[in-house]
């Protein structure tokens, strides 16, 4: 009886060992590639997978997206500028059988092909393109790497350039270039503003010249603006038309005519009497005698 119990226990242990060796549980994001006697038997999972002990061999494959960091790569751009560029690649396995059968280690192979493609593509671009057109370069890298990894059952979803390092001397040159560009834009904007202001002044001058009253109103407005400040003394000339009326009235001419200006006497010349010179003698009256000058005979 004891021998029978020992035999039963041994058989149970063997069955449990075989069951543990033949049963696999795969998660939702895992797939199992089964080889039977060295030949591809197919893809299994997810869930419970039963294998034939000592005959079947299973390789687990993760179908989740892998984030692969590409180490910094030294390269020379098309315009002979040395740079160091690193990037990141996102890919995932879409065909578990091909990722096991077609390539030895798809993760290392994808990393190497990404590094070589990064140096090849960015080496054909200029520095300005490398700094300003990263989206275009990212798309080109993604397409090239995806075409090369497609036979392996690997789908490259995105490639992003993380950082571009250039020499300090080139950075200073780029800073000077940017400063010069800013100064050029400032000068152009200032010149455009002066041009537009001159056009507006010309239009204002045309409007004021069409109506003289507008010029007087503008003159009065300027006086009010200047007079608002009490800390300075300003001397402004008056228009001649305003002063002329007061000058004419001071001369005694009610008609507004300018007073006659008498010429100084000339020696040796007979001068008329004041009444005659002024035209105040009555008509028909005899002119008075002219007094001879001093010293004349």
Predicted confidence (pLDDT) per residue in 47-66, tens digit: 888 888 888 899 999 999 99
Contacts of residue 239, Cβ cutoff 8 Å, sequence gap at least 6: none
pLDDT for position 102: 92
- CB neighbour class for 153 (10 Å; exposed up to 12, middle 13-18, buried from 19): buried
pLDDT band at 247 (very low <50, low <70, confident <90, very high): low
Instruction: Give the residue, 254 or 232, on which the prediction is more confident.
Output: 232
The reported pTM is 0.58
**Joined tokens for residue 137:** 């370069």
* Assigned architecture for domain 66-166: 2-Layer Sandwich (3.30)
Closest CA to 102 of 64, 36, 149: 149
111 vs 58: CA distance, rounded Å:
25
pLDDT band at 16 (very low <50, low <70, confident <90, very high): confident
pLDDT of 268 above 60: no
pLDDT of 197 above 80: yes
pLDDT of 280 above 50: no
- Range in 65-69, 227-231, 254-258 with the lowest mean pLDDT: 254-258
pLDDT band at 254 (very low <50, low <70, confident <90, very high): very low
pLDDT for position 168: 84
pLDDT of 84 above 80: yes
Domain boundaries, the chain: 11-62, 66-166, 168-221
pLDDT of 137 above 60: yes
pLDDT of 281 above 50: no
Q: End-to-end CA distance of the chain: give it in Å, rounded.
A: 196
Q: Please name the residue ranges forming H helices in 89-167.
A: 96-101, 106-123, 127-132, 134-149
Residue 44 · residue 16 · CB < 8 Å: no
Q: What is the pLDDT of residues 138-153, one digit of tens each?
A: 999 999 999 999 999 9
């Amino acid at each position: 009886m004891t021998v029978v119990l020992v035999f039963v226990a041994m058989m149970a242990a063997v069955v449990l060992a075989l069951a543990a060796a033949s049963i696999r549980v795969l998660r939702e994001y895992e797939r199992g590639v089964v080889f039977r006697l060295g030949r591809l038997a197919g893809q299994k999972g997810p869930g419970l997978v039963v294998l034939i002990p000592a005959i079947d061999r299973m390789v687990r494959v993760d179908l989740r997206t892998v984030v692969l960091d590409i180490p910094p790569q030294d390269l020379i751009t098309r315009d002979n500028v040395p740079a160091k560029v690193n990037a990141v690649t996102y890919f995932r396995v879409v065909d578990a059988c091909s990722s096991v059968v077609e390539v030895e280690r798809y993760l290392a192979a994808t990393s190497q092909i990404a590094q070589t493609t990064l140096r090849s593509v960015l080496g054909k671009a200029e520095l300005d393109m490398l700094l300003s057109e990263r989206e275009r370069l990212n798309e080109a890298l993604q397409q090239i790497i995806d075409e090369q990894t497609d036979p392996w059952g690997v789908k490259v979803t995105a490639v992003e350039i993380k950082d571009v390092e250039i020499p300090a001397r080139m950075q200073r040159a780029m800073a000077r270039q940017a400063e010069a560009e800013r100064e050029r834009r400032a000068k152009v904007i200032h010149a455009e503003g002066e041009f537009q202001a001159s056009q507006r002044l010309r239009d204002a001058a045309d409007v004021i010249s069409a109506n003289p009253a507008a010029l007087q109103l503008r003159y009065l407005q300027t006086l009010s603006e200047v007079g608002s400040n009490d800390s300075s003394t300003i001397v402004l000339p008056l228009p001649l038309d305003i002063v002329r009326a007061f000058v004419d009235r001071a001369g005694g001419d009610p008609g507004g005519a300018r007073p006659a200006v008498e010429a100084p006497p000339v020696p040796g010349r007979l001068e008329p009497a004041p009444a005659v010179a002024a035209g105040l003698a009555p008509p028909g009256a005899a002119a008075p005698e002219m007094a001879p000058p001093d010293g004349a005979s």
